[in-house]
């Protein structure tokens, strides 16, 4: 019997079950976002961890939606911390925020950002303005820029990250971006996890059916299949013999 994931909460539960099977923790604060044209972090999000601090509104997946699936797993506690804010070099403009910057350096650098990278993430080293570091501080302080900080787990903990874009097409999910599959041998099996084995046996994408009813019965409900296959491979990155 096939297992489908219709709602975002179903996917969250499945992610945590797979991580637990490999004695790993899902890193908190990492979200998968719906994507639209010029928007990489839409309002519909899927949390990888179910707890009060990261709770998001539940909803069903809809046909023709696009999601950026983002999962980070750790052999540690899954609660990374910021050790040094100076390590942050990636930012994205918050288009819904406004503020009259006081420093000239801040105004100059924000003008360059607005002209060159108004909606997508960028690295500070690509900015021509040499006073970027000084100007960025005020921009971040007043939420004109969203920083992508470098977070750290405890020494000795191993972390694996997988991210890909999936289209929820009428005949099944279609992953359009990801890394190449690595042939690794896991140190732990899932022989005692029949539910997970059933998930992995599901097809990634189905062929179009002639009857409309059969087509609609498949729809976008297979998104979890794609997610779990990718996640299992990321978990195996540190399990190589």
Residue 100 lies in a domain: yes
Q: Are residues 64 and 131 in the same domain?
A: no
61 and 169 share one domain: yes
CA distances, 211 to each of 161, 172, 218 (Å): 39, 15, 12
Say whether both 91 and 112 belong to one domain.
Answer: yes
Q: Cβ–Cβ contacts within 10 Å for residue 41, how many?
A: 16
β-strand partners of 152: 81
Report pTM: 0.75
Percent of the chain whose predicted confidence (pLDDT) is above 70: 78
Q: 168: helix, coil or strand? A: strand
Q: Mind listing the pLDDT tens digit for each residue in 139-190?
A: 999 999 999 999 999 999 999 888 889 898 888 788 888 777 667 677 777 7
134 shares its domain with 68 = no
Which of the residue ranges 79-93, 111-125, 220-234 would you say has the lowest mean pLDDT?
A: 220-234
Number of domain units in the chain: 2
186 within a domain of the structure (yes/no): yes
Examine the domain organization and report whether 121 and 188 are in the same domain.
no
**Do 173 and 71 share a structural domain?**
yes
204 occurs within a structural domain: yes
Band of pLDDT at residue 212, cut at 50, 70 and 90: very low
Residue showing tokens 């990250």 = 161
Residues 215 and 165 in one domain: yes
> In a 3-state reduction of DSSP, which class is residue 82?
strand
State the CATH number of the domain containing residue 128: 1.10.10.10
In a domain, 75, yes or no: yes
Query: How does the average pLDDT of the chain come out, rounded?
Result: 81
The answer to the question of residue 2 being in a domain is no
More confident residue, 57 or 83: 83
- So what's the pLDDT on residue 146? 95
97 and 37, same structural domain? no
Specify the residue for token string 């990155």.
Answer: 237
Residues 6+ apart with CB under 8 A from 171: 205, 206, 207, 208, 209, 215, 218
pLDDT at 123: 92
Query: 102 and 123 share a domain?
Result: yes
- pLDDT in the model for residue 128: 80
Residue-range definition of the domain harbouring residue 139: 85-148
Residue 221: per-residue pLDDT = 46
Q: How confident is the model at residue 22 (pLDDT cuts 50, 70, 90)?
A: confident
Q: Which of 47-51, 102-106, 178-182, 221-225 is least confident?
A: 221-225
**Looking at the structure, do residues 203 and 216 belong to the same domain, yes or no?**
yes
Domain boundary among 148, 169, 197: 148
CATH code, domain carrying 229: 3.90.230.10
Query: In 7-83, where do the E strands start and end?
Result: 25-26, 31-35, 45-47, 66-74, 81-82
Strands of 149-239, DSSP E:
151-152, 159-169, 172-177
pLDDT at 133 over 60: yes
The answer on pLDDT for 99 being more than 70 is yes
Q: Is residue 190 part of a domain?
A: yes
Among 96, 129, 148, which residue terminates a domain?
148
Q: In whole angstroms, give the CA distance from residue 155 to residue 157.
A: 6
Last residue of a domain, one of 113, 129, 148: 148
Indicate if 76 and 97 belong to the same structural domain: no
Q: Say if residue 109 is in the same domain as residue 169.
A: no
CB-based burial, 47-57: b 16+ in 10 Å, e otherwise: bbbeeeebeee
> Which residue did the predictor score with more confidence, 104 or 186?
104
Q: What is the number of alpha carbons within 13 Å of residue 126 lying toward its C-beta?
A: 10
Identify which of 47-51, 91-95, 125-129, 164-168 has the greatest average pLDDT: 91-95
Give the pLDDT mean for 200-208: 61
pLDDT of residue 241: 44
């Amino acid at each position: 019997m096939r297992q489908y994931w219709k709602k975002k909460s179903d996917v969250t539960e499945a992610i945590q079950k797979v991580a637990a099977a490999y004695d790993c923790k899902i890193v908190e604060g990492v979200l998968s976002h719906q994507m639209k044209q010029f928007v990489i972090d839409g309002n519909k999000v899927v949390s990888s961890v179910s707890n009060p601090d990261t709770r998001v509104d539940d909803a069903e997946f809809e046909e023709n939606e696009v999601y950026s699936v983002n999962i980070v797993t750790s052999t540690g506690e899954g609660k990374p911390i910021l050790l040094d804010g100076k390590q942050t070099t990636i930012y994205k403009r918050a288009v819904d925020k406004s503020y009259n910057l006081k420093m000239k350096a801040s105004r100059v650098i924000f003008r360059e950002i607005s002209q060159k990278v108004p909606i997508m993430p960028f690295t500070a080293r690509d900015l021509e303005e040499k006073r970027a570091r000084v100007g960025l501080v005020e921009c971040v302080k007043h939420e004109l820029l969203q920083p992508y900080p470098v977070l750290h787990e405890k020494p000795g903990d191993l972390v694996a990250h997988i991210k890909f874009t999936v289209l929820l097409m009428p005949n099944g999910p279609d992953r359009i971006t990801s890394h190449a599959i690595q042939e690794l041998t896991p140190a732990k099996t899932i022989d005692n996890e029949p539910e997970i084995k059933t998930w992995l046996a599901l097809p990634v994408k189905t062929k179009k059916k002639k009857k409309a009813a059969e087509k609609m019965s498949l729809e976008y409900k297979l998104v979890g299949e794609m997610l779990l296959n990718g996640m299992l491979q990321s978990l195996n990155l540190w399990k190589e013999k």
